[in-house]
Amino acid sequence: MKFVKIFIVILTSFTFFGFNEIKSKKINTEDSIVKWIGYKVTGQHEGTIKLKEGELKFNNNDLIDGTFVMDMSTINTTDLEGGSKNRLDGHLKNEDFFGVDKHKYAMMSFVNIEKASSNNIDVKSYKINADLTIKGITNEISFLINISKNSATTSLKIDRTKFNIKYGSASFFDGLKDRAIYDEFDLDVRLNF
């Protein structure tokens, strides 16, 4: 009986003083989706990029960290077929855009995480500041991530010119007219773990 009382006191102490239970959850890269959408004056293109690896860390079910690696050599256009698709895929992989021969991976690491309000009791929302590295250049980006039991979703808007990807940008080249490509592109992400 004395042992039970001591055990309860110890357990209560850990709970009261904030016993930390840190869990790492590996991202299932096969079941997760990273969709890109690029915009130009005359329309848009979209496709996918595969994650090489990723991990989210939680402390007592609250998000405390995240790291991800995208394999830029897997850039895949999904709204074109045949020669048009092959040309765009090749162009996105060459030095005009992501230069995957020299910079195969893009990386993201969470820097700051703040809880955000959510209208759904089954979903936790967080405002994230993260370091994003593309073509060896690192910039901070901000976005909101929503986490449910076994998945996370987010949408990011990225200014490619901050990573020295200036091809077709009206911000840097005059006279492009309807050949201009907008500086920002979107990533819509669903992570399963």
Extents of the domains making up the chain:
17-192
Segment 118-165, tens digit of pLDDT: 888 899 999 999 999 999 999 999 999 999 999 999 999 999 999 999
Q: Which of 161, 182, 45, 164 is nearest to 102 (CA)?
A: 164
Segment 18-69, tens digit of pLDDT: 567 899 999 999 999 999 999 999 999 999 999 999 999 999 999 999 999 9
CB 64 within 8 A of CB 148: no
* Cα gap 122→78, rounded to integer Å: 32
Which CATH superfamily includes the segment(s) 17-192?
Answer: Lipid/polyisoprenoid-binding, YceI-like (2.40.128.110)
pTM for this prediction? 0.87
